[in-house]
Amino acid sequence: MLAKIFSWFSKDMAIDLGTANTLIYLKGRGIILSEPSVVAVKEDGRFKKVIAVGEEAKKMVGKTPGSIKAIRPLREGVIADFEVTEAMIRYFIQKVHNRGYFVKPRIIISVPSGTTQVERRAVKESAETAGAREVYLIEEPMAAAIGAGLPVTEPVANMIVDIGGGTTEVAVISLGGIVVSHSLKVAGDKIDEAIASYIKKRYNLLIGEATAEQIKINVGDVLPEEPYATMEIKGRDLVTGIPKTIIITSKEIQEAIKEPVDMIIQVIKQVLEETPPELAADMVDRGIVLSGGGALLKNLDKLIQKETGLNVTIAENPLHCVALGAGKALDEIDRLKEVMVQA
């Protein structure tokens, strides 16, 4: 009864705490916030003062003076800087949960399936310190599968591949539990790094992470066809030190990102090999669902289909799958409590 009264006076929320972006789902309203997981801090001796969070902080990446740092407190799906993560969570909670609601919110946060008990505890404590009444954790592949509309509580195989910024989560889900899963610390960020590294080696040109991401979005293609798409990019010449412009093609980007893409395909095959035969038989009919920002990499679905022989579909809203799934778990918390994980 008390819990019911609390829920009337608080704004319960689900948070997809991603390496690249943080999304917040508000009960009864859907996704109301999507901002980069970036915090700009000014370091003064041992103290860190938060100057900007989210969109505002992302604009500062690579452009700050020495005393200010634009940092991403989550690396490869886990908290790299506890203090800054807490400040970021608090900022997002306060932005959504204004003072008009005097009861602290109940929060569900998604975590990668490969996180340790210590890392989960850190996420939970960050949210509690930032002002949550109760904190539940849900594994990212489970949230992504729910968000993609898969029947996770039924006795059928649901295979999800969630390619985020820091991690790729591959899982087979049945009867409300994860049967087989692998978490790979190769995803969108590593693809960006591979692009920057290729351009540095091939053209002696230094580019920033924002430029590498733009290249991936505009001309990234794992099965390019002629005529190849091209893009003009600007960077700093490593020989002369002077800014320079070059033209790059989708064929070159295919070569640049081959290694991280191969690793993702490898982990998908590994999960398929470890899947029990009855569920593997289901997968022939049901196929694989892709979610996360990485699912939007051009022709990745076709390449996975070619490599596995299974039907591959991209979720309806790949970028929001985890947040929508965590939100659905929040809306139906009594029915879906079994899918939560302990910290």
pLDDT given for residue 101 in this prediction:
52
- The region of weakest confidence among 125-129, 231-235, 279-283 is 125-129
pLDDT given for residue 313 in this prediction:
96
pLDDT given for residue 118 in this prediction:
86
The arithmetic mean of pLDDT across residues 221-235, rounded, is: 94
pLDDT for residue 37 is more than 50: yes
The arithmetic mean of pLDDT across residues 38-67, rounded, is: 83
Cβ distance 195 to 250 under 8 Å? Answer: no
Structural domain boundaries in the chain: 2-37+72-142+322-341, 144-186+260-318, 188-258
Name the band, by pLDDT with cuts 50, 70 and 90, for residue 98: low
Give the chain's mean pLDDT.
88
Name the band, by pLDDT with cuts 50, 70 and 90, for residue 230: very high
Annotated binding site: 19-21, 165-167, 213-216, 293-296
- Extract the runs of DSSP E, i.e. beta strands, from 11-152: 13-17, 21-26, 30-36, 39-44, 47-53, 68-71, 74-75, 78-79, 106-111, 134-139
Annotated binding site for ATP: 19-21, 165-167, 213-216, 293-296
CATH class given for the domain over 188-258 = alpha beta
CA distance 211 to 269: 31
Answer whether 2-37+72-142+322-341 and 144-186+260-318 agree in fold.
Answer: yes
| H helix count then E strand count, the chain | 13, 19
Contacts of 75 (CB under 8 A, 6+ apart): 19, 166
pLDDT given for residue 115 in this prediction:
80
Residue in the structure block whose two tokens are 């204004």: 98
Share of the chain above pLDDT 70, in %: 95
Note the CATH number of domain 144-186+260-318: 3.30.420.40
Name the band, by pLDDT with cuts 50, 70 and 90, for residue 256: very high
pLDDT given for residue 102 in this prediction:
53
pLDDT given for residue 163 in this prediction:
95
Name the band, by pLDDT with cuts 50, 70 and 90, for residue 83: confident
CATH class given for the domain over 2-37+72-142+322-341 = alpha beta
The arithmetic mean of pLDDT across residues 202-220, rounded, is: 94
pLDDT for residue 338 is more than 80: no
pLDDT for residue 12 is more than 90: no
pLDDT given for residue 10 in this prediction:
60
pLDDT for residue 169 is more than 60: yes
φ/ψ of residue 59, rounded to 5: -65, -20
Alpha carbon separation from 64 to 59, 235, 241, 329 (Å, rounded): 10, 17, 20, 40
Higher pLDDT, 224 or 5: 224
pLDDT given for residue 341 in this prediction:
77
pLDDT given for residue 2 in this prediction:
45
φ/ψ of residue 25, rounded to 5: -105, 125
The arithmetic mean of pLDDT across residues 19-46, rounded, is: 88
Name the band, by pLDDT with cuts 50, 70 and 90, for residue 99: low
pLDDT for residue 332 is more than 90: no
Q: How far from chain centre, in Å, is Cα 255?
A: 24
The arithmetic mean of pLDDT across residues 47-66, rounded, is: 83
